[in-house]
């Protein structure tokens, strides 16, 4: 895999320019495969079999939501390195009948026993939440999210929707190479927690490429959910088993936290970027960082700068720094802290922030804006023949989550509570029943009130940065849907984080994927940017609706995935 990527990267370096290079038989220098076209339905996921599961459900008469849940359930089994029913979920759903976009926040809350004092009493005296083990575990929201989505938009019985995942979990699937790579990477940090090795290792070793992975324990758990509904998870034996396990391991999560859990339908928020309405889910997630960055970038003539230019890459990094300072200061659970969303995503505020950018020099630090006194993941998208579209993202947080694998349930609990701050008074401070700051964000774009694009790009803090780059590639640089995802990406790291501890004072690091002209890199260094290349650049999936009514699909060349339709 690494050799293939190196060769692909070398080929990109050899392309003399964006406008003049030739990639195979078409004039798309950064495109590694064609877009996928279909009329009746489309799915794009990070695993080819998940895409096939989604298409099978569509062809059985299922809705886009049915297919998305089926694919998500399969991925929770086959790609445990990024998601599962121990994690959380967010979704944007375009309802063709209503011509309306709906948003679901299916993230879980901190346990009722979770306080800063309780974390200290458990023996953790660090400045931030522990990343693994029992303490950062929050209520898993995914299963309730499935039933909220299905109850509103599903057409097939939930048992039929979950049947493919149950069957595959019993029979097994071969492990693809990217998932195998992440599996090996996760094992050293969480493989020692009780229950993990029994399900997710072979005699203590990670599953490797081509190994057949089976998880009959998860199949049994999914069967309970298929037969007993969401209460089988939140009010039945599953919740009781997790309660018992967490008590044994010194965790704070209890059966009563499951009983109290519920998802929330929220109003999506948007900004207009050069005629396109870009939609995100408001905090406790980081989606509005996309809107803040786009509002700043819109004030500059990006098209004339050109893709891969020092001017564009500098502007992107500075816009990200500005938005992420606000992200660290203001993004939190709105039930506990006033989040000034309207001000943060306004054009007027963007003008104030954009004025701080020096177009010739990288800033070492920015302060968050002034507000009025009143003030690793999987992504998938599915579209059906009725015109309904789903943008869904689901995660365990850090790859395989907390490492906590209770009883015979066959899944890992998330460690999303790591994102809380252990700083009293901070907007994101740990409090009982509070939702932590979330990185996972689905996206949707409409144009003139009609659906145009359902997409996402997984990968922690890379997500809003990736969203912005995809949109600018499409809108400003006229790339097609696949090319927009294959083009070399960048990621800025080092901004202040919502944990209340870290802060940017040295300008951070701009990570740049191979394929950018070395002269541009030298120019960026001269402008004061610290550059590197060794990071991840996210995972992208997308479905577009074109002017002919076709679905156009694209998938991430950096993952194992597939876009397909019928």
Asked whether residue 188 is domain-assigned, the answer is no
- The pLDDT of residue 31 is 84
- The pLDDT of residue 497 is 87
Beta strands 509-512 and 531-532 are parallel
Report the alpha-carbon distance of residue 489 to residue 462 in Å, rounded.
10
Range of the domain at 32: 27-37+266-377+439-565
The residue to which tokens 């499935």 are assigned: 146
- The pLDDT of residue 29 is 57
- The pLDDT of residue 249 is 96
CA distances from 546 to 454, 456, 479, 553 (A): 12, 18, 14, 11
- The two structure tokens encoding residue 518: 């070395």
Nearest to 441 by CA among 92, 93, 147: 92
Domain count, the chain: 1
**Contact present, 117 and 135 (Cβ < 8 Å):** no
Return all residues near 99 (Cβ < 8 A) that are at least 6 apart: 449, 450
φ/ψ of 451, rounded to 5, equals -65, 135
Environment class of residue 106 by beta-carbon count within 10 Å: exposed (0-12), middle (13-18) or buried (19+)? buried
Asked whether residue 91 is domain-assigned, the answer is no
Asked whether residue 303 is domain-assigned, the answer is yes
Which residues in the chain land under pLDDT 50?
1-27, 373-375
- The pLDDT of residue 25 is 44
Asked whether residue 467 is domain-assigned, the answer is yes
Asked whether residue 179 is domain-assigned, the answer is no
CATH of the domain at 472: 3.60.20.40
The string of DSSP codes covering 76-124 is HHH-TTT--TTSEEEEEEEETTTTEEEEEEE-----TT--HHHHHHTT-
Report the alpha-carbon distance of residue 404 to residue 194 in Å, rounded.
7
Q: What is the pTM assigned to this prediction?
A: 0.93
Asked whether residue 18 is domain-assigned, the answer is no
DSSP 369: P
What confidence tens digit (pLDDT) does each residue in 32-79 have?
889 999 999 999 999 999 999 999 999 999 999 999 999 999 999 999
- The pLDDT of residue 505 is 77
Report the alpha-carbon distance of residue 370 to residue 140 in Å, rounded.
35
What length is written for the chain? 566
Chain centroid to Cα 110, Å, comes to 20
Dihedral of CA 460/465/467/469: which sign? negative
What confidence tens digit (pLDDT) does each residue in 97-133 have?
999 999 999 999 999 999 999 999 999 988 899 999 9
Environment class of residue 343 by beta-carbon count within 10 Å: exposed (0-12), middle (13-18) or buried (19+)? middle
The residue to which tokens 């943008």 are assigned: 391
Asked whether residue 134 is domain-assigned, the answer is no
Active site residues: 377
Q: How many other CB atoms sit within 10 Å of the CB of residue 275?
A: 8
- The pLDDT of residue 459 is 86
- The pLDDT of residue 371 is 65
Asked whether residue 75 is domain-assigned, the answer is no
What confidence tens digit (pLDDT) does each residue in 253-274 have?
999 999 999 999 999 999 999 9
């Amino acid at each position: 895999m690494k050799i293939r990527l190196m060769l692909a990267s070398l080929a990109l370096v050899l392309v003399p320019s964006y406008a003049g290079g030739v990639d195979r038989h078409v004039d798309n220098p950064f495109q590694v495969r064609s877009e996928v076209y279909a009329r009746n339905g489309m799915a794009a996921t990070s695993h080819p079999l998940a895409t096939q599961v989604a298409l099978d459900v569509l062809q059985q008469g299922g809705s886009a939501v049915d297919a998305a849940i089926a694919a998500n359930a399969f991925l929770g089994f086959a790609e445990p390195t990024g998601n599962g029913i121990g994690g959380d979920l967010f979704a944007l759903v375009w309802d063709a009948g209503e011509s309306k976009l709906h948003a679901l926040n299916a993230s879980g809350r901190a346990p009722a026993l979770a306080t800063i004092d309780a974390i200290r009493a458990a023996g953790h005296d660090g400045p931030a939440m522990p990343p693994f083990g029992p303490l950062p575990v929050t209520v898993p929201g995914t299963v309730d999210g499935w039933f909220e989505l299905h109850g509103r938009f599903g057409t097939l019985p939930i048992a039929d929707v979950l049947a493919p995942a149950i069957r595959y979990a019993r029979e097994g699937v071969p492990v693809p190479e990217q998932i195998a790579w992440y599996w090996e990477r996760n094992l050293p940090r969480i493989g020692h927690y009780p229950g993990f090795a029994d399900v997710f290792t072979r005699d203590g070793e990670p599953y490797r490429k081509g190994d057949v992975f089976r998880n009959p324990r998860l199949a049994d758990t999914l069967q309970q959910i298929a037969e007993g509904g969401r209460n089988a998870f939140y009010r039945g034996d599953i919740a009781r088993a997790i309660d018992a396990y967490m008590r044994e391991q010194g965790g704070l999560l209890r059966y009563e936290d499951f009983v109290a859990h519920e998802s929330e339908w929220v109003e999506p928020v948007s900004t207009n970027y050069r005629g396109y309405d870009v939609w995100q889910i408001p905090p406790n997630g980081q989606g509005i960082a996309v809107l803040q960055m786009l509002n700043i970038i819109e004030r500059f003539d990006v098209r004339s700068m050109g893709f891969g230019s020092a001017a564009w890459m500098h502007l992107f990094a500075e816009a990200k720094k500005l938005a992420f300072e606000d992200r660290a200061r203001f993004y939190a659970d709105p039930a506990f802290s006033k989040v000034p969303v309207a001000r943060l995503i306004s054009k007027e505020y963007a003008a104030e922030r954009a004025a701080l950018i020096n177009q010739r020099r990288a800033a070492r630090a920015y302060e968050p804006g002034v507000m009025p006194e009143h003030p690793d993941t999987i992504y998938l998208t599915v579209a059906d023949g009725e015109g309904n579209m789903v943008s869904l993202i689901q995660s365990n947080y850090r790859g395989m989550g907390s490492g906590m694998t209770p009883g015979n349930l066959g899944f890992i609990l998330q460690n999303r509570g790591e994102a809380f701050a252990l700083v009293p008074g901070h907007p994101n401070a740990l409090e009982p029943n509070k939702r932590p700051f979330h990185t996972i964000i689905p996206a949707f774009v409409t144009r003139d009130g009609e659906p145009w694009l359902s997409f996402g790009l997984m990968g922690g803090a890379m997500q809003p940065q990736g969203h912005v780059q995809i949109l600018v590639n499409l809108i400003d640089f006229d790339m097609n849907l696949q090319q927009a995802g294959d083009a070399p990406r960048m990621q800025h790291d080092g901004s202040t984080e919502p944990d209340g501890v870290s802060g940017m004072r040295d300008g951070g690091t701009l990570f740049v994927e191979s394929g950018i002209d070395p002269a541009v890199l030298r120019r960026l260094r001269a402008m004061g940017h610290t550059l590197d290349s060794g990071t991840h650049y996210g995972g992208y999936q997308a479905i577009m609706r074109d002017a002919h009514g076709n679905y156009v699909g694209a998938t991430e060349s950096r993952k194992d995935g597939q876009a397909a339709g019928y």
